[in-house]
Chain A
Amino acid sequence: MYALYDTATGLIQGYYETMPPILPGQSCAKTSVTDDVNLYDCYVQEVKWDEIHEYNYIVALKSYKKGIA
């Protein structure tokens, strides 16, 4: 899956099966972990470059049930 997130805040805006269009201010990275963005505010904590597969990969997240963070 691909996660599209706000570059400045790290807030994930959506998960996609294929690479989505990326607008200014947004970033995209692969992830093996997804959540329901309607239920949770998910923030990207750390992204690494996968030298084997050659893509950015989200390795750490912090998430909160909506209304808590």
Chain B
Amino acid sequence: MAIGITNSGGVDTKKYLFRVGASDVPWVTYTPTGTPTYITSAIAKAIKSAEAISEGVYVTDSALDLTPYSKLWVAWQGFYAGIPSGVSSVNVSTTKNGDYTVYDARTLRSAIFTDYPDSGIGYNGAKLDSIDISALNGNYYIRLHSREGDDDAGDSVFTYAYAIWLEV
């Protein structure tokens, strides 16, 4: 049973896919390249990609019907060390196991992003980004990507997501 606010049509008007303290749908990891580190804590899903080209992905274990929803939101931060050709992205895709270049809709950042110490949205300095998914109908996977794109020693990309949710 999904947790959220339900309208008369039986669809959650705000459906969390994960949030602080809870994972409302099952997520799994997938590694397109290298040896990233996955950190799932009580407050976040985080991926550290460092030391040579590496990319880590958290992906919903099942495809989700996005037909009722118009927006996908993510509250997240990205900490980049060096100039790593880094990428943090949230991809909406019919493909479960793809790298950051495989998507139907995507929001992507390529430099450090944070509103630390606090943007006032309740996630300790996270930025809020959204994707317009109103034109997407049917089942899609949601993926969180963190990629370090060159092989300079010491470069790293640390992508730290507090919550991802859908809105009608």
Q: Which residues of A contact B149 (CB under 8 A)?
A: 32
Given A32-B149, A58-B110: A68 and B85 interface contact (C-beta under 8 Å): no
B110 lies within 8 A of A45 (CB)? no
Q: A33-B87, A62-B106, A63-B106 are in contact. Are A48 and B135 (CB under 8 A)?
A: no
Q: B110 touching A33 by the CB < 8 A rule?
A: yes
B118 contacts the other chain (Cβ, under 8 Å)? no
CB of B66, distance to nearest CB on chain A (Å): 11
Residue of B with least CB distance to A35: B101
Q: B residues near A, CB below 8 A?
A: 85-87, 101, 103-111, 113, 129, 131-132, 135-136, 149
Closest 10 CB pairs of A and B: A59-B111, A65-B104, A61-B108, A68-B135, A60-B109, A63-B106, A32-B85, A64-B105, A33-B110, A62-B107
